[in-house]
Structure formats: C-alpha cells, structure tokens
C-alpha cells in the first residue's frame, strides 16, 4: 500500500473549522491559545500512524489534555509521549510525566498507531483543556470547566531524549497485527555493531554519530521499523558477573529512544558477538566452553533486557544474528543444538526480567538465519515460552522467527560486475543469474509461511537488499529496486515483515539508501520500490 502523508494545520484562516485549547495553570485570566498540526505519517491496509504537534501561543502551561473526535470510526491502538483514553469516536490524550510544561511559543508532540476502515479523514475538531485554539492568543473570561489531570509522578530521571511512555498491561496484538504494524523496516547497520579490535564504537566503520535527524528522514521515507544491530564484545566484563559497560548500555538506550520516540517499531539485535571473523567474538556454537558461553549470554541479555522492561509493544528483542559454525554446508551437530539452547536461554532470561518483557514479542533465528536450514527439518527448535505473562491468551504466540534473504548472492552481494541485473525486466541474459529469480523467491518465502506463519509464529525478514554495481552497469539501480519491490511484496503475500539492510555506505558495493551525515535520501528509487510506489 502506498505510504500516505496528510498534514492538517489548524489556524484561524483554515478552511476546516478546528477548535482547541490550552489551560494556563492557576491563571484563569491569562492569555491562552494554540495551533495544532495533525499528520498521518504512514498508512497501510488496516492501520495508520499519526503525529500531533501542539504549539502554545499563550502564556506558559504546566500540563495539557488534548481532545478530538474521529469522523470515520478510527481507533487509537498504541500511543507514545502521553496517555490515551477513547470512548467511541472521542479521544483524550494527556501529557506524560516529562512533557507537561509548554512555554510560550513552545510545542508538545505525541503520536500513535491506529486502525481505520473505508476512509481515514483527519479530525476536524480539537480541544486543549477547553480554550478555543484559533491560531492566535485569546484571554479566557472564566476558569475552564475542564481541569487538567495532575501530571503523573515518575521515579525515572528524564533523559535528553524523552523517555517512552510505559505500558502497564501486557503487550497486545495478534501476529497478523504485529506484522502489519511493523510493515517495511530498515537496518541501522554498521553502527552499534561496529568495532575496532573487538571494542564496539558506532563510528568505528566510518559512519557518523547517529542523530534524530537521520531517524526523522527514515520515518519520513515511509519506514515503520528500525532494526538496530548491537555488538557487546569487549564491553562485557569478566566472569562471573559479565557486567556490560554502563556507558555502552546508555548509548544503546539513547539510540533506541531516537527511533522509539518517533513512533517507530524497534528491533534490538545481538550481532557481531557470534561471528568467528570478529575479534573478541564469543557466542560460538562449536566452541568447547559452552557452559561459560551460556552463562555469559544469559548475564548479558539479563542486563540488556532489564533496561527495557517498561517499553511498550513497539520494542522487539532479537536473540542473535546469523549464528553458525562458519561453513556453508548443511548444519552440524552439536552446533545447532547449542543455537537452540541460546534461543531458549534468551527467551527465559528476557521473560524473567518482568514488566512488559513478560509479554513482548521476542525474535529468534535458526542456523545462519537461512530459510532452508530453519524450515527444512535440519534441527531448528522453536523455544518454549513457559515464563510469559499469564495475561496472554493461550491461543496467541509471542515468539517471532527471524530469517534473512540475499539470494542470489551473485547479484545481491558479490563484489564484481558479473551479475548486475535481476528479474523479468532484465535486458541482458548474460548479466542475470540462472537461479534465484522471482519463482525461487516465492517458493522460499512460502516455506516460512508453511513452517511458522500458518502456525501463529510471525516471520521477520530481518535483512535483505543488494549492493550498488552501477560502476559496471548504469541500469543496476533499476534491478536493485525491482529486487526490493519483489521481496517486500512476496513477504507481505506470505504474512512476513521486512527490513532492508543498509550499511551506511554509498557508492560502489554500498547498500545505503541514505547519507547519514546529511540525513538525506540517496536511493529514492529503491525506497519507492520498497514502499510499493
């Protein structure tokens, strides 16, 4: 479904009559007024995302209550940066603990994911604690009848990036709803998993420091999910506590917040710790010291998961990345058994940290995230989920299966100019592989549906994409776009969400869709293909 963005600016001169208000705390006669900007940021078959921005045009306020009504039966499914109640069409949103104060000329923003059917018009009436929002200051003649609810108390110290609103109940939503909401995703690759000699650093591989401007651009492009690969490596202390460096955990949380606070789904993935080619890697499935490895793995995930117990359902934790013994033949034992054991330790550990971790979706891979070796009876075992919240309906799952797709590698990843074209639009048969075309892609993703989706376990194609070979074929980007369009559409056909692999590198052999330094788009054609445009 083509991503839509509708923006409604509420002001005195607007053609649509919109009302709103801001109450000035303890001053019934103080100047008040506001402007409201409502934007649908993303829309799909049965759902949408929206942002609301309130600008205070009057005296400072200490708390706010935004009210509006939907005109076509829409509902708010999940909201951030505030708390929401809905009765029929009427919606009320109150400030979070950290964003109640708005100075003169200041703004407050919140966002939500919602559902719609038939049509999705913007609300045509807003209130903000009872004073009309005309786009210019007004002076109330009496105290408004609706008083704001006192700002909720919080024991959490505010960070520079606002703390996400917590969810007190279990994470909700069915597998199908999750996949729909996650939609089209994007990888923040070669950043928090980057390292020099086993010491993680987000700039180690040439990418700049991650910024909110970049995540704004990613969201504006139409992506709904950001996958954040993370390596720990030398940031892990010695046994028996295996303490993760506090500053590194803080930075991980800050980057998560940059995406989460923008209303995006976020997947945190343990990445390079299981690569034999990475200095300091330790999550090695065929190493001799499995007892120590499993103890270390449990301790690290216990610390990481504990950082995110209050985050809502838009946060997903992923156990590991492309773990295998380094050879590309059939899976071996006991290596596969150890991968299954890691997944089970991950699920048990995260669940036991409590809070929303007891009910959030958890993502687990099979051997090297390979579709054949995960679906084809080679030894993959879905973890048991015995410690999950008792509030989750017994008929629902909370485990998701991770796979990656880079077939045919000769086109997607081989750093040469031999194969630069893919799909039915290819014009030169000599530049197109004899296998790995659309029929193969369809058959592979159908395997994931048959093995998992049809049984209630959603599938996430957590990486896919193809490198830039325009140095060898000026038309290469056209085929890269065709490949991305086909993969996303085929995944959707079989009920799977997706995330494009972006390593931040533009130019020859790069995967990048954006320039991270300037937060600009570099491959609009591929993005349009992903979005189905």
Catalytic residues: 322, 463
| CA distance linking residue 488 with residue 491, whole number of Å | 5
Residue indicated by tokens 């996430």: 460
Rg (alpha carbons) of the chain, rounded to whole number? 24
How far is CA 518 from its chain centroid? 21
Of 320, 315, 362, the residue nearest 340 (C-alpha): 320
H helices of 353-408, where? 371-375
Strand order through the sheet with 75-80: 6-10, 34-43, 47-56, 107-115, 75-80
451: phi then psi, degrees, rounded to nearest 5: -80, -35
How far is CA 130 from its chain centroid? 35
| CA distance linking residue 119 with residue 133, whole number of Å | 26
| CA distance linking residue 21 with residue 24, whole number of Å | 10
Token representation of residue 394: 């017994």
| CA distance linking residue 530 with residue 466, whole number of Å | 13
DSSP string, 203-231: TTTSPPPP-HHHHHHHHHTT--EEEEEE-
DSSP string, 98-120: TS--B-TT-EEEEEEEEE-BSB-
| CA distance linking residue 151 with residue 96, whole number of Å | 7
For β-strands 6-10 and 34-43, DSSP reports them as antiparallel
Q: Whats the size of the chain, residue-wise?
A: 533
Instruction: Give residues with Cβ within 8 angstroms of 490, minimum separation 6.
Output: 438, 441, 442, 445
The total of other beta-carbon atoms located within 10 Å of residue 71's CB is 14
């Amino acid at each position: 479904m083509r991503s839509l963005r509708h923006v409604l600016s509420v002001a005195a001169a607007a053609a649509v009559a919109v009302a709103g208000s801001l109450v000035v705390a303890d001053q019934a006669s103080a100047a008040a007024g506001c402007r409201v900007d409502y934007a649908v940021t993303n829309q799909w078959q049965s759902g949408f995302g929206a942002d609301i921005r309130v600008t205070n045009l009057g005296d400072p306020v200490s708390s706010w209550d935004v009210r509006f009504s939907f005109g076509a039966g829409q509902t708010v499914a999940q909201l951030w940066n505030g708390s929401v109640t809905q009765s029929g069409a009427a919606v009320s949103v109150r400030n979070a603990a950290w964003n109640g104060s708005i100075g003169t000329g200041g703004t407050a923003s919140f966002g939500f994911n919602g559902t719609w059917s038939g049509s999705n018009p913007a609300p045509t009436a807003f209130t903000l604690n009872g004073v009309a929002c005309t786009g210019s200051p007004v002076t109330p003649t009496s105290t408004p009848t609706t008083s704001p609810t006192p700002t909720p108390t919080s024991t959490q110290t505010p960070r520079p990036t606002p703390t996400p609103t917590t969810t007190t109940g279990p994470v909700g939503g069915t597998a199908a709803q999750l996949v729909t909401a996650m939609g089209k995703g994007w990888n923040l690759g070669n950043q928090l998993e980057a390292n020099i000699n086993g010491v993680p650093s987000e700039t180690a591989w040439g990418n700049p420091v991650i910024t909110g401007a970049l995540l704004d651009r990613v969201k504006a492009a139409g992506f709904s999910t950001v996958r954040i690969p993370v390596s720990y490596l030398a940031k892990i202390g010695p046994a028996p506590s295996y303490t993760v460096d506090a500053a590194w955990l803080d930075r991980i949380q800050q980057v998560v917040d940059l995406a989460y606070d923008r209303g995006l789904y976020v997947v945190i993935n343990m990445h390079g710790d299981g690569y034999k080619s990475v200095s300091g890697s330790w999550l090695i499935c065929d190493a001799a010291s499995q007892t120590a490895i499993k103890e270390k793995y449990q301790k690290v995930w216990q610390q990481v998961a504990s950082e995110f117990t209050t985050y809502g359902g838009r946060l997903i934790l992923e156990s590991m990345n492309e773990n295998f013994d380094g050879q590309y033949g059939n899976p071996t034992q006991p290596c596969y058994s150890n991968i299954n054991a890691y997944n089970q330790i991950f699920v048990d550990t995260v669940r036991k940290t409590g809070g929303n971790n007891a009910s959030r979706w958890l993502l687990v891979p099979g051997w090297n995230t390979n579709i054949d070796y995960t679906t084809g009876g080679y030894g993959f075992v879905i973890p048991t989920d015995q410690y999950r919240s008792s509030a989750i309906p017994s008929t629902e799952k909370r485990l998701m299966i991770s796979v990656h797709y880079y077939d045919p590698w000769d086109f997607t990843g081989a750093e040469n100019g031999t194969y630069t074209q893919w799909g039915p639009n290819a014009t030169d048969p000599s530049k197109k592989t004899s296998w790995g075309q659309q029929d193969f892609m369809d058959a592979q993703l159908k395997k994931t549906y048959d093995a998992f989706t049809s049984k209630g376990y959603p599938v996430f194609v957590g990486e896919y994409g193809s490198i830039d070979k325009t140095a060898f074929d000026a038309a290469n980007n056209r085929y890269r776009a065709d490949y991305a369009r086909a993969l996303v559409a085929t995944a959707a056909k079989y009920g799977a969400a997706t995330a494009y692999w972006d390593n931040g590198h533009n130019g020859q052999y790069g995967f990048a869709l954006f320039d991270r330094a300037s937060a600009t788009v570099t491959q609009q054609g591929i993005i349009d293909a992903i979005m189905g445009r």
